[in-house]
Structure 1
Amino acid sequence: MEWRKSSRSGNEGNCVELAGTLTAVRDSKQPAAMLVVDVRALVEAVKGGKFDQ
């Protein structure tokens, strides 16, 4: 998989990386742990407040 850094990540090494057609997400500090999701659906759920407490 080819990973790319999120444009919203800072330059301090704490970044979110995306791979493929936006189907895999990982933290650059923990590259072995990745989350494979439908990123568009996840973003919509976050924007829609599904995870608000």
Structure 2
Amino acid sequence: MYTYEDGLAGTEFNYYSSFKDNQGLLYFGGLNGLTYFLPQDIKVNPIVPPL
């Protein structure tokens, strides 16, 4: 789960407030502002958490 520490403007987003530009950047509008990122920049965490 992503939170403020990961750079999200908030954890609640508005319906119909998303956009993908021609460079692939994704935008999401929420109650506390705008969050945007490139999906290919998301890194997979190779560390398996203990159960």
What TM-score does the superposition give when structure 2 sets the normalisation length? 0.31
Choose 1 or 2 for highest CA Rg.
2
Higher share in strand: 2
Q: Quick one: higher RCO (CA 8 Å, sep 6+), 1 or 2? A: 2
